[in-house]
Structure formats: structure tokens, C-alpha cells
Structure 1
Amino acid sequence: MSGLLQLHLGVLLLGGAGLFAKLIDLPALDMTAYRAFFAVIFLALFIRYKKQSLTLKSKKDALTALAIGTLAAIHWVTYFYAIQITTVAIAMLALFTYPMMTVFIEPLFRRTHPTNKDMVLGLAVLFGVAMLFPDLWFGGESLSDDTLIGIGCGLISAFCFALRNILVQHKFSHYSGGQSMFFQFVVTALLLFPITETPALDLTFETIAKLVLFAVVFSACAHALFASAISLTSAKTASLVGCLQPVYGITFAFLILAEVPALATIGGGSIILAAAIYETQATKRTKPSSLPAK
């Protein structure tokens, strides 16, 4: 399989991952916890097959793993909750503000300042997000509206995702992608299982099957394909193709869930994705901060 084909297949699977928030009849937090459990089992077997270690090298790495795992847990729960109370399109487009958030957060680690170009792109993304709920500005929607709450959760998810990626890049890059995801899923499971509402014995066979499919194929395997494709293509190509994830996700939602995005959503999403693609081309990122959403 060619690198480009692996790349598109991985991003395609990641684009379809969001649909499970609608297809699995569990609260977002519970779904994230059980997904993490099954992902941990699969990734542990995969890492041992690759003859890599399942342990952390130092206490400092343990603290870093706890930080990135916590951010990952918040990212996933808020993202899936946003999908559940709004639509796949709105949640995914709100999430894809993360490349611009990365532009403004990463200078704090590099002790630099965003450029004027970054400021302009940031304002463009802000305008794109505003277009996702135009009725708010013309009356008719209150602050408690599910659309507004969903977009807010999507933006929180984007912030956590951007910060997690930066921490992985600057503090955790000495572990492989599989190891990094394994530790993140372990932390997520440990944090969320004590507060889940759905006991394991109450899960139906259908729900378990969907969770396993979600965790193994649309999460672990998707990222394995993406990581493998980077070595066969380039990080820049991977970043650009990764920006197709919302397109794939919205298409899946239309075909499977019959969710038709509003014109304002399409317009705002186009601005957000255009800014993300432009920033990716301009910076030629080569580190995990350019990875597609998980």
C-alpha cells in the first residue's frame, strides 16, 4: 500500500470516528472511558509485537504522561459531547481551530511572539467560528442553546488538543507514537472509570462491538496508518491531507446520519479549514502538532 493511500485511509477512518458519538448509546464520558480501555489492550499487544517498552523511563516522564493524558481525556470527552448535542459538522469544525490555537500557544514554549500574519489568520478563524451560529448575533438563540454549548465544548476540545500536541512534541517525543497513545489512553481510563455512570455489566453486546470497532479500527489502526504514512510521504503532505478529516467526517454524517450542514456552517468551516491549510503550508510543521484530531 502506497504512503499516500495509507495517509488518506488513516484520515478517512479518523473522520469517521466522530460518528460513534452518535452511534453508541452512552454518555460521552462513559464512551471515552470504555474506548480507552479497549484501546489500551490493543496498543499494549501492538507495542509488545513491535518489541517496545510499556513502561516510562523516569518520574519526569510520568508527570508528563499524566499531563498529556489528562488533556487528551478532556479533549475527547468535550469533543464527543459536542457531537452528541449538536452535529458532527459543527463539532468537527470547532475542533479544527486547533492549528491556529497551536500558533498562539507554541511561542510560549519557544519564547517567541506570533507574527502579524498569525494575528490576521487568528481573526479569520474567529470569524469562521462566529459563522457557525449566526442566529446568536441576530437574536433567537440564548446562551444555554445546545449549539452554543456544543461549539464551546468543541473549542475547549481544540485548546486541549493543541496543548497536548505541543507537550508531546516538546516533552514526550522520545517515545514512539504508539507508546505515547498507549500512555494517554491509560491515564484517560484511570481518570474516567471512577466517574462513569454505566457499569460494565450493563453494556450490551452491540455496544461492546461498537466500542471495540471504535477503539481498534477507528482510533488505534487509524493512527498507525497515519504514522506509517508520514515515513513514506512527508509531514507537510500528512498535515494537508489531515485537514480533510472534517470533510470526510461531514460526508459520513450526511450519508449515515442524514445530517445536512447549514450554509453558514459550510461557510464558517471553509474559512477555518482554509486558515488551517494555509498555516500548515506556511510553517511546514514536522512534529506531532500537525497530527489530525483523535
Structure 2
Amino acid sequence: MKKAFIRLHIAVLLAGLTGVLGRLISLNAGLLVWYRLLLTVPSLWLLALLRKQSVGIGRRDLWRIFGIGGIAALHWVSFYASIKYSNVSVGLLCFSAIGFFTALIEPLVMKHRVDRVELLLGMLVIVGILFIFQVDPHYKTGILIGLVSALLGSLFPVLNKRVLRRVSSENVTLYELTGGFLVLSVLMPLYLYLFPAPSLLPGLADWGWLLVLSWACTVLAFNLSMSALQKISAFTVNLSYNLEPVYGILLAFVLFREDRYLGGGFYVGFFLILLSIVLQTLRLWRRRALRASGSKATYPPAQSQ
């Protein structure tokens, strides 16, 4: 159990590192994501073959997963664009707005009532982001792009829920990233026309950081999460990933000293967002405890997203 928690938090730390790598890699956001997928997708297919993983899925699910993968790729592009137009800390704080958009979108897709508490906690995040926007207006472009990223990021986990009832999480990840790569490859000429890049090829340092981003922060992080799921519940895994922006911001403070350039408005906004995460975590723990005390039945863990 202890080793599982260590693996899980290494995976969360690696996820937080992705924002830092977005600043270190000199490519524009679209090319960064395209090269990330170029390295990641063959690696995942090779691992699947080595494990003799069954990769067969129905045609209907295939096209649906490819579409969700396209949304995920666009989420990554806008996430890195947010960092490029502002900084790592601001981009990661905007990423936290996913909870607000999920509270609005999930009831529409899954056809159930809006959870008012989740909506209020999500609005607390939005208030924190707006506070940063008002106090530090020079980050406004990055913040607006970051909110678009959060909106896109809230879509694919919700859409995944129905697919995960029929397809394993390993195959969903495999085909989604493959679909994201194909969709982004089709869109790349238009993207480069709208956002020209001085160079289409990564430099030597960029290749090194791309390998870290693809193999460590994507392939290794996914495998560590799946390994942790064998010992601890998906519920605990999902809660732990709330720490992703916190880890990323702390890394940005240490590596780039972004704390020197952020005013009081950032810290007020950060506190509000952190408060929202803590309250949601406590709420979910309490709900799970009440469920466990009300029934002796065991509950299978939800599929990891």
C-alpha cells in the first residue's frame, strides 16, 4: 500500500511537471503537442504489444474515442498556449477551472441534476481567476486561453464516462491519444498558417524536454497511476490529482522563481482555488464515509480518467 501511494504521488508530480516543460520547450503550443503525441503514441502501442494487450474495440466506439481524443489534443494546445502567453503558475491556476465547467456540462451530458455545491465550489475557482485577471491585467490573454483550455478539459472526462463502460481505460487512453495525434495532424497546416513558427523542428534541448514530457510525464505517469490502482481505489487516485496544479506551481516557483513576478492578486486567487480544492476533497471523503457506513456492500472503484 505504501509503495502504491508513492507511485501515485510520483505520477501526480510528473503531471504537474508538464506545465514547467511547456515553458522550457521553445516550440509554439501546437507543435509542442504534436511532437509530444508523435513520441507518446508509438511508445504506448509498443507497450501494448509487449504486454499482449487486447486492443480490439468496436467501430462505433473507435470513432467516438478518436473524437474525444481530438478534444483532448485541443485542450493540451490551449493549455500550453496559456502558459506561453502568461506563465506556468497562471496557466495551472486556470486549469483548476475544469471543476466549474464540469459541474455545468456533466449534468447536461449525463442527464442528471446540477450539483449546487460543486457549482458553488467551481464558482469559487472562477472568482479566484477573476481576481488575478483584475489585479494582473497583463496576463489577460493567457487567462482567457486558459479558461478555453479548462472548458475543453472538462469535456473529455465527461464524454469518457460512457465509453469506459464498454472499453478498458488502457484502450481508451491508447486510442484517444492516437485520435488526438491524427486530428492535430490534420489541423496543423491551418494552425501554422494562423500561428507561424520560426522553426518546425525542435532544437537539441527541445528534443530532450520532449522526451521527458512524452515518456516520463505521459507514458510513465500513466503506468504509475494504473499500478497504484491495483492497491488503492480510483476515488483516492482522482482526489490526489487535485494536487497537480499545486505541485506544478511550486515547481515553477523553485525553478523559475515566478513568485518574484506575481503580485498579491495571484496569491489571493491561489488561496481561493486551493480552498475550493480542499473543500471538495473533504466533501467527497465525507460522502464516501457516509456511503460506507450505510451499507456493508463493497463498491468497485470507478474507472480512472
Shared fold (TM-score greater than 0.5)?
yes
- Cα deviation for residue 200 of structure 1 reads 9.4
Give the counterpart letter for 2:73 in structure 1.
Answer: A
In structure 1, the partner of 2:255 is 256
Residue 187 (structure 1) aligned with residue 186 (structure 2):
no
Give the counterpart letter for 1:123 in structure 2.
Answer: M
In structure 1, the partner of 2:39 is 38
> How many Å separate the matches in 1 of 2:249 and 2:25?
18
Q: Give the alignment of 1:207-226 within 5 angstroms.
A: 207-226=206-225
**Unaligned ranges ≥5, structure 2:** 289-300
Residue 205 (structure 1) aligned with residue 213 (structure 2):
no
Give the counterpart letter for 2:72 in structure 1.
Answer: A
Spell out, residue by residue over 1:183-206, the C-alpha distance to the aligned partner (whole angstroms, 9 max, x if none): 222122222234255699833333
Residue 278 (structure 1) aligned with residue 270 (structure 2):
no
In structure 2, the partner of 1:26 is 27
User: 1:110–1:188: structure 2 CA closer, same or farther, 3 Å change rule?
Assistant: closer
In structure 1, the partner of 2:158 is 166
Q: Secondary structure at the match of 2:212?
A: helix
User: 1:244–1:58: structure 2 CA closer, same or farther, 3 Å change rule?
Assistant: same
Residue 116 (structure 1) aligned with residue 108 (structure 2):
no
Confirm or deny: 8 A CA contact 2:96 2:125 kept in the other structure.
no
> How many Å separate the matches in 2 of 1:279 and 1:235?
16
- Cα deviation for residue 26 of structure 1 reads 0.4
Confirm or deny: 8 A CA contact 1:177 1:227 kept in the other structure.
no
Q: How does the TM-score come out when normalised to structure 1?
A: 0.86
- Cα deviation for residue 13 of structure 1 reads 0.6
Q: Secondary structure at the match of 1:26?
A: coil
Give the counterpart letter for 2:271 in structure 1.
Answer: S
User: 1:187–1:23: structure 2 CA closer, same or farther, 3 Å change rule?
Assistant: same
Spell out, residue by residue over 1:140-194, the C-alpha distance to the aligned partner (whole angstroms, 9 max, x if none): x4xxx5x112111111111111110011112244333332222222122222234
Spell out, residue by residue over 1:217-276, the C-alpha distance to the aligned partner (whole angstroms, 9 max, x if none): 011211221232133122332233211111211111122222114332222122223223
In structure 1, the partner of 2:71 is 71
User: 1:278–1:100: structure 2 CA closer, same or farther, 3 Å change rule?
Assistant: farther
How many equivalent pairs are there? Answer: 281
> How many Å separate the matches in 1 of 2:279 and 2:51?
36
In structure 2, the partner of 1:102 is 102
In structure 1, the partner of 2:298 is none
> How many Å separate the matches in 1 of 2:224 and 2:233?
14
User: 1:231–1:250: structure 2 CA closer, same or farther, 3 Å change rule?
Assistant: same
> How many Å separate the matches in 2 of 1:118 and 1:201?
42
- Cα deviation for residue 70 of structure 1 reads 1.3
Confirm or deny: 8 A CA contact 1:44 1:54 kept in the other structure.
no
With CA pairs under 8 Å and 6+ residues apart, which has the higher RCO, 1 or 2? 1
Give the counterpart letter for 1:155 in structure 2.
Answer: L
- Cα deviation for residue 90 of structure 1 reads 0.7
Q: Give the alignment of 1:74-85 within 5 angstroms.
A: 74-85=74-85
In structure 1, the partner of 2:296 is none
Confirm or deny: 8 A CA contact 2:33 2:77 kept in the other structure.
yes
> How many Å separate the matches in 2 of 1:230 and 1:280?
19
Give the counterpart letter for 2:237 in structure 1.
Answer: A
* Alignment root-mean-square deviation, CA: 2.4
Give the counterpart letter for 1:102 in structure 2.
Answer: T
Give the counterpart letter for 2:215 in structure 1.
Answer: V
Confirm or deny: 8 A CA contact 2:70 2:184 kept in the other structure.
no
Deviates more, 1:119-128 or 1:279-288: 279-288
Q: Secondary structure at the match of 2:258?
A: coil
Confirm or deny: 8 A CA contact 1:68 1:184 kept in the other structure.
yes
> How many Å separate the matches in 2 of 1:130 and 1:225?
35
Match of 1:150 among 131, 142, 150: 142
